[in-house]
Amino acid sequence: MNIDRNGRAHPPLPAREAAIAGALARPLGAPALDRFVEPGDRVAVLQDESLPPDLRALAAGSIAEALAAAGAAEVAAVVCAAPSPPPPRDGDEPPPGEVLARDAGARSDALPPAHGPDAEQGERFVAVGRAPRLGVVRLLAEVARADKLVLLGSCTSDPRGVLSGAGALVAWGSADAITRDALRAAAGDETSAEEAIDAVLLLAPPAFAVQLVLAPGGRLGGVVAGDPSSVREACTKRVK
């Protein structure tokens, strides 16, 4: 039986759910998710669209339960596109993220598409400050105005390197085109890219990372959660 923090007993969870719940309850370098988020917080959950849909839904469900237990006032789910090579200047690139739901999934509400530089400077993106090598950083309004962030991604060996980490869901996945172009320029050097991502995280709301360790075939091989820097270090050790 599982015992929650109020002393209530619950039936044992299936293995995958138990792995996710255990990581959320015993994270690295951070309090449990239901303590990291405080009552009344507005929370944005950034999800890597490249995760297998069943695992993404499974983890998002466990995260939603923890946020409800914490008393979060509003939850926005933001699906983030994975990094891609620099497109042609006149090429089309998908928007960095799309808000799929607010108010703990009570309704579906999509952000309008951006068209041209004027739209990118409007309500879709909000300036959160300046970062070295990146200049002015603008993030999606749903992300910039949240009280806390939850970053749901995968812990795998990826040729995109640091751009595939949890922090990149903020620095890349929720940023405007100008910030992403600057991040691409920094990505040629891994140290510079990590420093740029960390600089964006310092400007963004406090974040809690949840990284799914993917085994061959897309199966769940484990879960690492907690402070983004601690999670990145743990994932780096696991995939080497």
What backbone torsions phi and psi does residue 207 show, to the nearest 5 degrees?
A: -120, 150
Compute the Cα dihedral for 83, 177, 116, 124 and give only its sign: positive
**Which segments in the chain show pLDDT lower than 50?**
1-4, 9-13, 85-92, 100-122, 159-160
Q: What is the pLDDT of residues 24-70, one digit of tens each?
A: 999 999 999 999 999 999 999 999 988 889 999 999 999 999 999 99
Residue 163 has what pLDDT?
Answer: 55
Answer for the pair 136, 130: CB distance below 8 angstroms, yes or no. yes
What backbone torsions phi and psi does residue 87 show, to the nearest 5 degrees?
A: -80, 165
Domain spans in the chain, listed from the N-terminal domain onward? 13-82+92-239
Distance CA 103, CA 75 (A): 5
What backbone torsions phi and psi does residue 136 show, to the nearest 5 degrees?
A: -70, 130
- The answer for residues whose C-beta is within 8 angstroms of residue 103's C-beta and 6 or more apart is 74, 75
Report the candidate in 45, 52, 237, 76 with the shortest Cα–Cα distance to residue 149: 45
Pairing of strands 42-48, 74-80: parallel
**Type of residue found at 209:** A
Alpha-helical regions (H) of 29-138: 33-36, 53-70, 116-120
Residue 125 has what pLDDT?
Answer: 93
Kindly report the pTM of this predicted structure: 0.79
Residue 8 has what pLDDT?
Answer: 52
Residue 155 has what pLDDT?
Answer: 80
SS (H, E, C) 139-204: EEHHHHCCCEEEEEEEECCCCCHHHHCCCHHHHCCCECHHHHHHHHHHCCCHHHHHHHHHHHHHHC
The CATH number fitting domain 13-82+92-239, selected from 3.40.50.11440, 3.30.70.1450, 3.20.20.150, 1.10.167.10: 3.40.50.11440
Answer for the pair 59, 162: CB distance below 8 angstroms, yes or no. no
Residue 189 has what pLDDT?
Answer: 67
In the block, tokens 């903020």 appear at 170
Residue 123 has what pLDDT?
Answer: 65
Residue 217 has what pLDDT?
Answer: 77
Residue 93 has what pLDDT?
Answer: 55
Residue 106 has what pLDDT?
Answer: 24
Helix, strand, or coil here: 1? coil
Answer for the pair 95, 113: CB distance below 8 angstroms, yes or no. yes
- The answer for residues whose C-beta is within 8 angstroms of residue 198's C-beta and 6 or more apart is 167, 229
